[in-house]
Chain A
Amino acid sequence: MEMDELYKAAEIEDSISDPKIAHLVINKDEVVGMNDVPGLEVKTQPIEEGVDIEIIVEEGYKIEKPVHMCFGMTYKKGLQRISLDIKVEKNAEIGILAHCVFPEALDVRHEMDAKIHIGEGAEYTYLEKHIHSSEGGIEVIPNAKIKLEEDAKFKTDFELVKGRVGKLDINYETTCYKNSVMEMTAKVDGVGDDQISINESGDLIGKGARGVLTTRVAARDNTRAEVYNELSASAPYARGHVDCKEIIQENGSAKAIPIVDVSHPLAHVTHEAAIGSVDKKQLETLMARGLSEEEAVDLIIQGLLN
């Protein structure tokens, strides 16, 4: 597979040719494209089987257009290790659109270890879109530790756009200081013998800190899914919500473990978790419009993961 095909699969051809849009493209362990914009500093250096990346968004800078990052592999086999250190300085803003593209993967492992610091009043959005092969021959293991300073905002959204999950093991930990806001969402559709493990936690230690953990998983065929969502609140007026819905079909199985840990009388954290088959009334409504049972299930799951 050639690089231009990777760009095409990631749908970033236009973005990486626009000098006003910052981008970083990595093929396995090689940086093949990079563009900075004012206020954004990106440094890379090779590490064994991967790349170490340091990103700094300078104080007060608001990066207007989303920064495109493409972590991919044109090969069918291999390991890619990404070490990411992101600092969003005081009152800065950045949105990153990460394209993790492995369209040929037969035996690929993608590891990411991220350390993210979001300064006072800063905002950081990380939308992670994955494109995998239809073979399921991939392991994706993202780990991130995120610290939100006072009034900081962090939003992340993990989505598999195309292909099979393979094996997914997400581990994200956040620590939220005074009046900071954190939203973490993961939506995954498992088929075949996919294995999904989502482990997200939020520690609301600052007064008025808020956090929401949202997970939507479809476990079809022989997929195994486990979701561990933990929200702790130890400061006055800290507010949080854990929301997990998993649909199982055929021989799929799912486990949801929401943990809510509140240690301040003025804090409040709620949770809801539901696992089951497709709702019968939803299914029958769509069938009464002429959809087959399979089409109706697909549409319901597509909506849930939308």
Chain B
Amino acid sequence: MSILEIKDLDLYVENTKILENINVEFEKGKVQALVGPNGAGKSSLAFSIMGLSEYQNTRGNIIYKGESIDDLSISERSDRGISLAWQEPARFEGLKVKDFINSASKKHKTRKSNDKNEKKEDVAKEVLKRLGMDPKEYLDREVDSSLSGGERKKIEMASILAMEPDLVLLDEPDSGIDVSSLERIFESINFLKEKGATVILITHSEVTLNQAEYAYLMCGGSIIDDGPIGEIRRYFEDECLPCDTKNVPEAKVEQYGNG
């Protein structure tokens, strides 16, 4: 059963075609991956699903839980349970970690009907611990450049956990993360899955791909293949050699020819 269906989607950004004729369905409750080289359009597709400004689809439809979300704002999509974690998380001068996480938690409490009496601070503590971060050390720190990129990445993941989304888009979740932190990120992905969330991983890392159950291969703005990760892993092993579409990046055309 699919939670998200994308039909005939085109995306132009500043008059440049970024995505072309995307047709894909993401199955509910599974961890799925979008893989492909830099510039393939993976992040653009995630941004389009989230409805970020400048990434609204030019053609086609995004159907979420059976309804079109094309005309919905980012907040409205989020209210319906969609969220996104950026490859490079934003920095917020003066905003404390607890306030950042609680802002997501607060909305989650209004969206879901479970324990509304749970203290917000408890949620923030719980999700930080899940990411291996000591709440005493982090709750009152600011989400700014005083944190390392890896720390901000984990705090962004913590805010996602606090929100308990139904569909989460994780853009390069391994980027800038050390080995032990990566384990925590992967544990969080499993936790989201256990809670019934659908996770879409955007990656070109084989290690991260291994967390998924199914994968879609993107190249030059289109989805050119999909299958179990064992099949899609060949992309990494063969350096995109199976790709024979017109969307092969120029460098690859020169190297391998166009089909």
Contacts and interface: CB of A to CB of B under 8 A. Distances in A.
Contacts of A285: 86, 89-90, 156
Given A285-B86, A288-B84, A289-B103, A300 B95 contact: yes
Given A288-B74, A288-B83, A303 B93 contact: yes
A144 interface: no
Interface string B44-83: 0000001011000000000000000000011101110011
A279 B107 CA distance: 21
Nearest to B160: A289
A287 B74 contact: yes
Interface stretch (A89-97, A148-156, A290-298): A290-298
A288 B103 contact: no
B73 A279 contact: no
B78 A289 contact: yes
Given A287-B75, A289-B159, A303 B94 contact: yes
Contact of B75 (A245, A292, A299, A304): A292
Interface in A233-286: 245, 279-282, 284-286
Contact of A281 (B75, B90, B96, B103): B90
Interface string B154-195: 001001000100000000000000000000000000000000
B256 interface: no
A222 B199 CA distance: 44
Given A279-B90, A282-B91, A290-B75, 11 more contacts: A287-B74, A288-B74, A288-B78, A290-B108, A290-B111, A293-B75, A296-B75, A299-B99, A299-B103, A303-B94, A303-B95
B104 interface: yes
A284 B169 CA distance: 14
Interface string B128-172: 000000000000001000000000000010010001000000000
A294 to B, nearest CB: 10
B53 A293 contact: no
Interface residues of B, number: 32
B92 interface: yes
Range of interface residues on A (Cβ < 8 Å)? 20 to 34
Contact of B74 (A279, A284, A304): A284
Say whether chain A's binding surface is mostly helix, strand, loop, or mixed: helix
Interface string A180-207: 0000000000000000000000000000
A108 to B, nearest CB: 30
Contacts of A282: 90-92
A130 to B, nearest CB: 19
Contacts, number: 76
Contacts of B74: 284, 287-288
B78 A303 contact: no
Contacts of A292: 75
B224 to A, nearest CB: 28
A144 to B, nearest CB: 25
A303 B163 contact: no
Nearest to A285: B90
Contacts of A300: 92, 95
Contact of B99 (A280, A296, A303): A303
B105 to A, nearest CB: 9
B36 to A, nearest CB: 23
A216 B93 CA distance: 11
Contact of A304 (B73, B77, B93): B93
A266 B34 CA distance: 54
B217 to A, nearest CB: 26
A34 interface: no
A287 B90 contact: no
Nearest to A286: B103
A220 B207 CA distance: 47
18 contacts: A216-B94, A279-B90, A281-B86, A285-B86, A288-B77, A288-B78, A288-B84, A289-B83, A289-B104, A289-B159, A290-B83, A290-B111, A293-B75, A299-B99, A302-B95, A303-B92, A305-B94, A306-B96
A289 B74 CA distance: 9
Task: Across the A-B interface, give the 5 residue pairs with the lowest CB-CB distance, nearest first.
Answer: A290-B107, A303-B95, A303-B94, A289-B104, A306-B94
